[in-house]
Structure 1
Amino acid sequence: MADVAIPQGKVLSKRRESKRSSLRNALRHKSTVAFLMALPLILLIAVLVIYPALYAIHLATLNKAMTKFVGFGNFEFLFRRETFWLVVKQSCIFAITAVIFKALIGFIVAHFAHNVPPKGQRKWRGMLLVPWVIPPAMSTLAWLWLFDPSYSAFNYTLSFFGIGPIPWTGDALWARFSVILVNVWYGAPFFMIMYLAALKSVPDQLYEAAAIDGANWWQRIWYVTLPMMRNIIAITTLFSLIVTFANFDIVRILTSGGPLDHTHIFATWAFRVGIEGSDIPLGASVSLFMAPILAVAAIFILRDISKRGNEA
């Protein structure tokens, strides 16, 4: 019998199909291994995050004695209180202002550290990270002494210039300024280290090409540095916004929400209502109100990142 000749195109197509099937099997195997390796972390998140969140939702639907289902009654009660809307306003002012200044200072300091000679970079990075490394409760106690109405180091220094004592924590406006200042001092190093890592990943060839085209220092930052760092800036801002909204220790230690509840944010007021006021369901309702605000912010920021990824 004469050998039947198999067309070369069919042989190549069969080889391609076999390679694709083997690649699919390898990817499936790798994804299974990756899932099994991530399973302990998934279970940990489910136990420490998902379960408390669901339990908080359950608590928010109960009455003060936690014996009767009231549905949205706690939220309706909050919406009728002026203090609640003051807390919403203060939380937004506190978080947005602090994040903007942290991002701005972190960007400036990151540029400074990036341009330091390599021998001195490690020393400068270590010193600049000190505020972020110190526990916030401990550093806030030091700031509390600096703002003390009787022995304030700030007021003592200002007295030499004829500026006379400022009620750092006794006046509503100055108290807001004080808690924002401490939060910026604590959180700016985080932005600095993230932006410094992003700056080191920007190719030098882009700056050289921009310089050849006649771009000045500001134009190189606007058209080269910022576009290359947009994703890092967005993710860092979102993470810091979530942490700042949920901040508790700085406001609690520095002002305890005073004067007259003008520095309360969601976390501190939820503690005041839920723990000190013995109304756990109402405190849970206050804390849950952060979720829709942060969800809207996350949607806008992450949607912007996905758009840039599709354009790229």
Structure 2
Amino acid sequence: MNQTTQLPDRRPARAGSGATVITPPPVRTRARRGPSSQQWAAWGFLTPVTLYLVLFYAYPLWRNIDLSLRNYTVRSFVHGDAPFTGLENYLTVLDDPVFAQALLHTAVFTVACLVFQYAFGLVLAVFFKQHFPLSATLRALFLVPWLLPLIVSASTWSWMLNSDSGIVNAALHAVGIDPVNWLTSPSWSLISVIIANIWIGVPFNLVVLYSGLQSIPTALYEAAALDGANAWQRFWRITFPLLRPVSAITLLLGLVYTLKVFDIIWIMTKGGPADSSTTFATWSYQLGFGNALPAFGPGAAVGNLLVVAALVFGLIYLKVQRKQNAS
């Protein structure tokens, strides 16, 4: 098969110049191709996710920020002519005497729920790893609190902790202990909602931590047993350190969820009595919708404080995770 090769043009220059002019070969330009089928497929999968994030995350967040920076009333909320006030709503929230109580209750509620949910979940995960008869059935029953609608769980706990007809006070009376005003006493209302939320969150910790335990090789436990390590030493030297990545993501997700818990507290105590169980989530709702004259701006400002808190803890987790991966 004959092929024609185009060589550079070596034509002599003008007479007497003694130089040879070399003409470069013509440059061939390639026609631009459109997106490939893989690129179209990538955009096809990315577009629905992007639309979902914009419609259900970005727009509500932007709308909430706009609410917190304007003086919205019922009329201006409908017509959209609220005046811009800057950080005035945030200053109003910070000067409110309820702010310190809500901040303290949010911190106590979040820390107590995280600690006990993780501790109970870890104990149950280690317990179910033993693979005894009916372990799978019993583990499935522990998931019931997590699967129930929150309104059902909160209503059930409200009935159980009722001061007059609750089963908890009936049991205390049966053993000679005076009844407790769980939901109507300022000293017990926050503890009551903490107990209910712990009961709801333990199954999530159980599922995630149990999955993490399955990834730990059994050969490590066998080698430790041959070296004379008892069960407690095997837990602290093998199980707990190797569960650190799973524990970190479990605590982070639990933190984000617990910060925004609203329905459990609102159904059981409505943040009372006397704001004794008010958190940022319930306070934000009460400011925006719970009063005769709704304060949309301050309510949105409190909600944004919750978003910032969750974002800060998320960034801290990412930084710690990067340090662990680098080491």
Q: Above 0.5 in TM-score?
A: yes
Change (3 A) 1:39 1:202: farther
**Which of these residues, 61, 65, 78, is aligned with residue 57 of structure 1?**
65
Q: CA deviation at 1:29?
A: 8.8
Q: Partner residue of 2:193?
A: 179
Aligned counterpart, 1:199: 213
- Contact map agreement 1:64 1:282 (CA 8 A) in 2: no
Deviation at 1:272, TM superposition (A): 0.6
Alignment partner of 1:72 out of 76, 87, 102 = 87
1:9 corresponding residue in structure 2: none
Deviation of 1:42 after TM superposition, in Å, equals 2.8
Larger radius of gyration: 2
Please give the secondary structure, in 2, of the residue aligned with 1:253.
helix
Q: CA deviation at 1:41?
A: 2.0
What letter matches 1:303 in structure 2? K
State yes or no: 1:102 paired with 2:110: no
Pick from 99, 121, 142 the counterpart of residue 84 of structure 1: 99
- 1:53 alignment partner, SS class: helix
Percent same amino acid at aligned positions? 31
Alignment CA distance shift 1:102-1:30 (3 Å): farther
Decide which of 132, 141, 165 is 1:127's aligned counterpart: 141
Measure, in 1, the Cα distance between the counterparts of 2:190 and 2:276. 8
User: Which of these residues, 312, 315, 319, is aligned with residue 299 of structure 1?
Assistant: 315
Q: Which moved more, 1:165-174 or 1:99-108?
A: 165-174
For 2:260 and 2:242, the matched residues in 1 are separated by 30
CA drift at 1:34: 5.0
Name the structure where helix makes up a greater proportion of residues. Answer: 1
Structure 1 310/39 Cα, relative in aligned 2: closer, same or farther at 3 Å? Answer: farther
Give the whole-Å Cα distance in 1 for the aligned partners of 2:119 and 2:286. 33
Displacement after TM superposition at 1:76 (Å): 0.5
User: Alignment partner of 1:172: what SS?
Assistant: coil
Residue 166 of structure 2 aligns to which amino acid in structure 1?
A: S
CA distance in 2 between counterparts of 1:261 and 1:77 reads 18
Letter in 2 for 1:191: N
Q: Following TM superposition, by how much is the alpha carbon of 1:90 offset from its aligned partner in structure 2, in angstroms?
A: 0.6
Q: Which amino acid aligns with 1:81?
A: D
Q: AA paired with 1:304?
A: V
* RMSD value, Cα: 1.8
Report if aligned partners of 1:110, 1:196 keep a CA contact under 8 Å in 2. yes
**Number of positions where the alignment pairs a residue of Structure 1 with one of Structure 2:** 283
Task: Write the distance in 2 (CA, Å) between the matches of 1:213 and 1:303.
Answer: 36
Q: Is the 8 A contact 1:257 1:268 kept in 2?
A: yes
Q: In the alignment, is the contact (CA less than 8 A) between 1:176 and 1:262 conserved in 2?
A: yes
| Alpha-carbon offset, residue 292 of structure 1 | 2.5
Letter in 1 for 2:276: H
Query: 290, 303, 322: which one pairs with 1:276?
Result: 290
Equivalent position amino acid for 1:56 in 2:
N
Post-superposition offset of 1:302: 2.2
Q: 5+ residue gaps in structure 1? A: 1-27
For residues 251-289 of structure 1, what are the alpha-carbon distances to aligned partners after superposition, in whole Å with 9 as ceiling and x for unaligned?
A: 000000001011111111111100122111111111111
CA deviation vs aligned residue, 1:73-103 (integer Å, no higher than 9, x gap): 0000111111012111111110111011000
- In 2, Cα distance between equivalents of 1:73 and 1:192: 44
| Residue identity in the other structure for 1:40 | P
Cα gap change, 1:34/1:207 in structure 2, threshold over 3 Å: closer, same or farther? Answer: farther
Q: Counterparts of 1:208 and 1:45 in 2: how far apart (Å)?
A: 47
Superposed displacement of residue 32, structure 1: 7.5
SS in 1 for 2:70: coil
Q: AA paired with 1:92? A: A
| Separation (CA, whole Å) in 2 of partners of 1:183 and 1:215 | 36
> Could you say if the C-alpha distance between residues 31 and 237 of structure 1 is closer, same or farther in structure 2, counting changes exceeding 3 Å?
farther
Deviation, 1:309, is 1.3
What residue number does 2:324 align with?
Answer: 308
**Residues 1:261 and 2:270 aligned together:** no
1:46 aligns with 2:54: yes
Once the two structures are superposed, the pairs formed by residues 153-164 of structure 1 within 5 Å of their partners are 153-164=167-178
Aligned match of 1:218 in 224, 232, 235? 232
1:54-75 C-alpha deviation (Å, 9 max, x unpaired): 1100110011424110000000
Q: 1:209 to 1:68 in 2, by over 3 A?
A: same
Distance 1:155 1:122 in 2: 33
Q: Over residues 154-178 of structure 1, what are the superposed CA-to-partner deviations in whole Å (9 max), with x where a residue is unaligned?
A: 1111112211110101222211110
Distance (Å, rounded) in 1 between the aligned partners of 2:39 and 2:212: 29
- Kindly report structure 1 stretches of 4+ aligned residues shifted beyond 3 Å: 28-36
Q: If the length of structure 1 is used for normalisation, what is the TM-score?
A: 0.86
Letter of the 1:165 counterpart: P
- The CA deviation string for residues 182-224 of structure 1, in whole angstroms up to 9 with x for no partner, is 0000010000000111111111111112222322212211121
